[in-house]
Amino acid sequence: MRSVDLAKVRVIIADPDPKSLILTRKTLLQAGFKDIIQGSDLAFITQAFSSKMPELLISEITLPDGELSGFVRKIRHKKVGDNPFLVIAGLSQTPTPELVTRITEAGADDLLAKPIAVEKLHARLIRLIEERKPFTINGNYIGPIRKPRNSFEAMADRKQVPNSLRMKAVDGLTSDEADDIIQSAMHEVNASMVKSHAKEIELHIKWLKTIENSSALDEKTKKCVKKLVSIVEDTNRRLDGSNYEHIGELCMALWGILCQIDESGQFEKWNLPIIEQINEAIKMGISTSPNLATIRLITNVVHEKINSLKEQYSSL
C-alpha cells in the first residue's frame, strides 16, 4: 500500500458531549490529522459543508437537532453538501445492533464505538481507504452495498464511487481535481437514478390503474400518489447534465398532474389515462437516444393527447 498522509485530509467531527469531542479530536491528532473542524450538531455540519467539504465526517449518531441517519440520507442524495460519496462514520458510546442497522441503512460507511483507540481508528480508516465497498444505486438507497431488501434493490446498479479520503490521503489530489472526479461520477449516478426511478414510477402507476374510476383516495392510494410526487421531483432534479435532459418537460407535466391529485385528494376521470400516456413517453425517452426533434415531436403528441383526453372526459 502507498503511504497515507492524513494531514492532508479535512475531517469534521460532531458531538454534543464536550469531553467526548475533546477525546475524539485528541485521537485524530494522534492518528495524523491536522485539519480538524469540530462542532456539536447538524446545523454546524451543514454550515461547515457550505464553507468547504471535508473528506471525512465522523459524528455522534444522536445530536441535539436530529439523528445522523437522516442527515446521511440527505448527503447521499445530494440534498446537503456537494459530495454524495463522502466517507462517513457514526459514533456511539453504546453501538447496539439497532443503532448499527439504522446508521448503515442510511448509507454510512462505518460505526465507531467511543472512546476510539488510535490503533483501532487507524485500522478502520485504512480499511476505508483500501477496501471501501462499492455503492448500491437505486431510488430508495444510495450507499455502500448491503444485503438487498427486495428484488428491486437486488437488480440495482453497483458502482465503485470516488473515495474522498483516499483521493487526499493517498493520491494527493487537489480539491479541484477531486471535485472533477466527484462531479463526473455524480452524472453517472444521476443517470442510474433516473432509470431506477422510471422503473419505480412504472410500478406505482400499474398499481394506480387498479383504482376504479373517479373517487376519493384512501390512505394507501394517498401514500402512493405522494411517493410518486417525490420520485418524479427527484427524477427531474437529476436530469441536469445527464443524457436524459430531453424528458424534463414530460416529467414536469407528470409532476403537475400528480400534485393536483395529491392536493385535491381525488382522481378526475382523465387523470389516469394521461398519466399512462406521459409515462409511456418518458419510458421511450429513457430507453432510446432520440434527437431533440424526435423528443419535441413526442412531447407535442403527449400534450395533444392530454388536451384531447381532458375534453373527452369533461364532456361525459
Instruction: Say if strands 87-92 and 110-113 run parallel, antiparallel, or are unpaired.
Output: parallel
Which pLDDT value is given to residue 294? Answer: 62
Q: Burial level of 206, CB count in 10 A (0-12/13-18/19+)? A: exposed
pLDDT at 243: 80
Residue with cell 432510446: 288
What is the distance between the alpha carbons of residues 278 and 58, in angstroms, rounded to a whole number? 44
Assigned architecture for domain 6-173? 3-Layer(aba) Sandwich (3.40)
CA–CA distances in Å: residue 241 to residues 158, 179, 248, 292: 21, 15, 12, 15
Distance CA(119)–CA(86), nearest Å, equals: 23
Q: What is the pLDDT of residues 84-140, one digit of tens each?
A: 999 999 999 988 888 888 898 999 999 999 998 999 999 999 999 999 999 998 878
Instruction: Determine how many CB atoms are found less than 10 A away from the CB of residue 139.
Output: 24
Let me know if domain 192-314 sits in CATH 1.20.120.
yes
By CB atoms closer than 10 A (0-12, 13-18, 19+), residue 100 is: middle
CA dist., res. 69 & res. 66, Å (int) = 9
pTM (two decimals): 0.84
Whole-angstrom Cα distance, residue 142 to residue 184? 17
Q: Which one, of 42, 39, 47, 90, lies nearest residue 65 by Cα?
A: 42
d(CA 133, CA 145): 6
Q: Are 143 and 108 in contact (CB under 8 A)?
A: yes
User: Can you say whether the dihedral through the CA atoms of 301, 307, 309, 311 is positive or negative?
Assistant: negative
Domain boundaries defined on the chain: 6-173, 192-314
SS3 158: strand
Count CB-CB contacts under 10 A for residue 300.
Answer: 11
CA-based torsion, 281, 286, 290, 291: positive or negative: positive
Per-residue pLDDT of the chain (316 residues; tens, 9 = 90+): 578 999 999 999 999 999 999 999 999 999 999 999 999 999 999 999 999 999 999 999 999 999 999 999 999 999 999 999 999 999 999 888 888 888 989 999 999 999 989 999 999 999 999 999 999 988 788 999 987 777 767 777 789 999 999 999 999 999 999 999 999 999 989 988 998 899 899 999 988 887 755 567 888 889 999 999 999 999 999 998 778 888 888 899 899 999 999 998 888 877 888 898 888 888 888 876 655 556 666 666 666 666 665 666 555 4
